[in-house]
Structure 1
Amino acid sequence: MHHLQKILTVALMAGALASSGALAEQMYKWTGADGKINYTDTPPPATARSSESQGAPVAAIDATALPYELARAAKNFPVVLYTMKACVPCDSGRAYLSRRGIPFTEKTVTSAADTDRMKQAGGDGTMPMLLVGRSKQTGFESGAWDAMLTVAAYPANNQLPSGYRNPSASAAAPVADKVQAEAVDPVSPPSRRPSPSTPTGKPDSGFRF
């Protein structure tokens, strides 16, 4: 029964990954003429008031430096790892990806804006979170991660060229998002207390009745 459940799990992952295909490479966030924020996998229309692209984590990975099989998997099903500080499972997940030779982009969650971006990507607060294309796994579990990567056609053995380095970890939210978040909730200036009024009458003799 356990073996059958594992087969069904892998089959479901295969379906999810196959349906995502190359669409997993790019997502767009844009504001329409009515002020509504939209998220689509196609470029925004010319009438969009503002737009930005997101969800293309492998942009900094030089696929041309990778073996064909690995480069194809990285292009079709980019791997993104969301981590946070003082997180032992995050360290274990990062080490696992390195041992298997998976090119990945690491996104750190250290602020409210980072948390919002992590939730937009499907996170529920459980760390680490692994994205393989549009499939996700929260928490580190080597068996589940291994199955996701295998279904996405990543090689079972480390094929990374000698000396290859993944891009440095960066914040999950762009700097612009953090600046905007700070602008929405500015620090209130300290209130000014009125100066105590000068007492009138005779000076205090030090006695109290």
Structure 2
Amino acid sequence: MAANPVRPTAPKRRFGGLVGLLLIGGAGAAVAQYKVVAPDGSVTYTDRVPAAASSRTQPLRAGAGGADGAAELPFVLRQVMARYPVTLYTAPACAPCDTARQLLRQRGVPLVERSVPTPDDVGELRRIEQTTDLPILRLGSQRLVGYSADEWTAMLDAAGYPRQSMLPGSYRQPAARPLIAPRTAQPAAIEAPRPANAPEPTAAGAGGIRF
């Protein structure tokens, strides 16, 4: 990490505009709550229970971890998640990252956490976010770089995330994943057994010549 360090940092001062965009973008937004399959097989999504009895209606469920991966999240939480999904970028041994994570957990914000543990991950972070300052909060298309409790709290409030956790007891937050998938170690080649009484191989000289 020494060659490409990530930097725990204070947030950039662009907070007011971001909150304004969140408030404007969230006004009047509808979130699909039902999947409707018509008799002809066509599929539509709606936020209202359809009146047609001939159609097959399936409530949409948000996967929430848990033992079976299908614990239902509260309606209000599903709504805000659909509009403003949360991604948190962190690094090991980053105190502001730990504090930011704790805030999100206290509020019960379902999130995707991406970790930056290696130089390759740092390079990928720089490519996708044009910075190596951490933590980074992605709230839909909006972004905060650096942790500030006041600014992060106000951003989450503006997006509509509840102040108190509404997560069911079965919810399990997925583990953080690095930006670059770890390389899988290649299994060591197994040398075929040498036939009995076979001569020992000769040493190779320069150019591959054996002698």
TM-score (norm 1): 0.55
The question of 1:14 aligning with 2:23 is answered yes
Do the aligned partners of residues 75 and 174 (structure 1) sit closer, same or farther apart at CA in structure 2, a change above 3 Å counting? farther
Question: Alpha-carbon deviation of 1:107?
Answer: 0.6
Structure 1: distance between partners of 2:64 and 2:170? 16
- Greater share of residues in helix: 1
Q: CA RMSD in A?
A: 3.3
Mapping of residues 15-94 of structure 1, within 5 Å? 15=24, 17-18=25-26, 65-94=72-101
Do the aligned partners of residues 144 and 121 (structure 1) sit closer, same or farther apart at CA in structure 2, a change above 3 Å counting? farther
Report % sequence identity: 31
The question of 1:170 aligning with 2:177 is answered yes
Asked if the contact 2:88/2:135 (under 8 Å) is kept, the reply is yes
Question: Alpha-carbon deviation of 1:175?
Answer: 4.5
Tell me the residue number matched to 2:10.
none
Asked if the contact 2:71/2:170 (under 8 Å) is kept, the reply is no
Asked if the contact 1:83/1:107 (under 8 Å) is kept, the reply is yes
The question of 1:111 aligning with 2:109 is answered no
* Alignment partner of 1:155 out of 162, 176, 180: 162
TM-score (norm 2): 0.55
The question of 1:122 aligning with 2:143 is answered no
Greater RCO, CA 8 A, separation 6+: 2
Structure 1: distance between partners of 2:147 and 2:112? 16
Q: What are the ranges of 5 or more consecutive residues in structure 1 without an aligned counterpart?
A: 23-57, 180-193, 195-209
The one-letter code sitting in structure 2 at the alignment partner of 1:100 is R
SS in structure 1 at match of 2:100: helix
Structure 1: distance between partners of 2:15 and 2:119? 36
Residue-by-residue CA offset, 1:155-205 (whole Å, 9 max, x unaligned): 2221111131111111022347x99xxxxxxxxxxxxxx9xxxxxxxxxxx
Residue-by-residue CA offset, 1:103-162 (whole Å, 9 max, x unaligned): 111110012332233234425211111111111111111111112212222122211111
The one-letter code sitting in structure 2 at the alignment partner of 1:137 is L
Q: What are the ranges of 5 or more consecutive residues in structure 2 without an aligned counterpart?
A: 1-13, 31-61, 186-205, 207-211
The one-letter code sitting in structure 1 at the alignment partner of 2:85 is P
The one-letter code sitting in structure 2 at the alignment partner of 1:150 is D
Asked if the contact 2:15/2:151 (under 8 Å) is kept, the reply is no
